[in-house]
Structure 1
Amino acid sequence: MVKVGLVRVDSRLLHGQVVTRWIGQVGAKEVIIIDDALAKDEFMIEVFEMAAPAGVKLIVKSQNEAKEFLENRDLSKSIILFKNIPSLLEGLANELPFTDIQIGGIGGAAGRVVVFKNITLTNEEYSQLQTLENEGKHIFLQTVPEEKEVSLASIANKF
């Protein structure tokens, strides 16, 4: 498998915690957002480009573009962001080569359960993440680098 600086699911995509904490933690030179809607929205891409710190390139790709774009690319200094669990699952179904996946901030809504700080999941998403873990993926929850990783097993009682 390919070594990636960080693969993160975060509904806010590129925001303060990613910019001020995770980019430095990883030593990231680029942030790659894989999101179909954003890939079609030139205005929002410009907004995210302005949010990226100097020296860090922002790249936005659709799900269909992602696999070819990521192939044969050094991703060790990259942060790859997905907006939600369904988007992550689509990327993995398209054979994106990720083994370590961090679940970051996912906001609340009807049918969602707060599982850790500002991370919410549905019962279905939790089951899907368990399936990924059973297939050999390392799935963990973590909002900022200073926190220890939280395992899926440790939030099982929420469901």
Structure 2
Amino acid sequence: MGKIGLVRVDSRLLHGQVVTRWIGQVGAKEVIIIDDTLAKDEFMIEVFEMAAPAGVKLIVKSVAEAKEFLDAKNLEKSIILFKGIPSLLDGIAHDLPLEEIQIGGIGGGAGRVVVFKNITLTKEEYEQLKKLEADGKHIFLQTVPEEREVKLTNIANKF
């Protein structure tokens, strides 16, 4: 399988910043959304397919389907999207080969703290990300390519 172009957690999934900035940055030919709920919603899949730029294929897989699918592919020109930290953790629990994980936009809500620009986390999510980092994953926050990566240690004071 090899290197993955980009693994991103973003509650909006395929949206303006991903389409206009990240696809070009990666040179992506496909966007793979791994989400159990979306994988069952044909209408929303069609909506996301319409949002994908010309020449970029949209693929939606459930977490259970994802490992076999990803293992068979060259992912260097792929963006893998997760809607939230819980689905990311589920993917890792299913042995998805994710080593570098970008935390992008995650909207607000009860118990959530703004940690960087439009990225919010709960204390529990922050602790889970720290554990992934301790296990050897490269975890960083970044909303657009022009910004420098923000390390988890840089947001520790938010909790």
Write the deviation string for residues 93-131 of structure 1: whole angstroms up to 9, x where unpaired: 000001000000000001000000000000000000000
Aligned length: 159
SS for the counterpart of 1:86 is: helix
How do residues 127-142 of structure 1 correspond to structure 2 at under 5 angstroms? 127-142=127-142
- Deviation of 1:2 after TM superposition, in Å, equals 3.0
Structure 1, unaligned stretches of length 5 or more?
none
Alignment partners' CA distance in 2, 1:71 and 1:3: 11
Alignment partners' CA distance in 1, 2:12 and 2:146: 20
Write the deviation string for residues 52-81 of structure 1: whole angstroms up to 9, x where unpaired: 000000000001100011013100000000
Q: Which residue of 2 aligns with 1:83?
A: 83
How do residues 17-96 of structure 1 correspond to structure 2 at under 5 angstroms? 17-96=17-96
Identity of aligned residues (%): 82
Q: Which residue of 2 aligns with 1:108?
A: 108
The normalised TM-score by structure 2 is 0.99
The normalised TM-score by structure 1 is 0.99
Alignment partners' CA distance in 1, 2:141 and 2:154: 10
Check whether the contact 1:102–1:142 (CA below 8 A) recurs between aligned residues.
yes
Across the aligned residues of Structure 1 and Structure 2, the Cα RMSD in angstroms comes to 0.7
SS for the counterpart of 1:101 is: strand
SS for the counterpart of 1:88 is: helix
Check whether the contact 1:9–1:85 (CA below 8 A) recurs between aligned residues.
yes
Alignment partners' CA distance in 2, 1:17 and 1:111: 26
Check whether the contact 1:2–1:97 (CA below 8 A) recurs between aligned residues.
no
Letter in 2 for 1:20: T
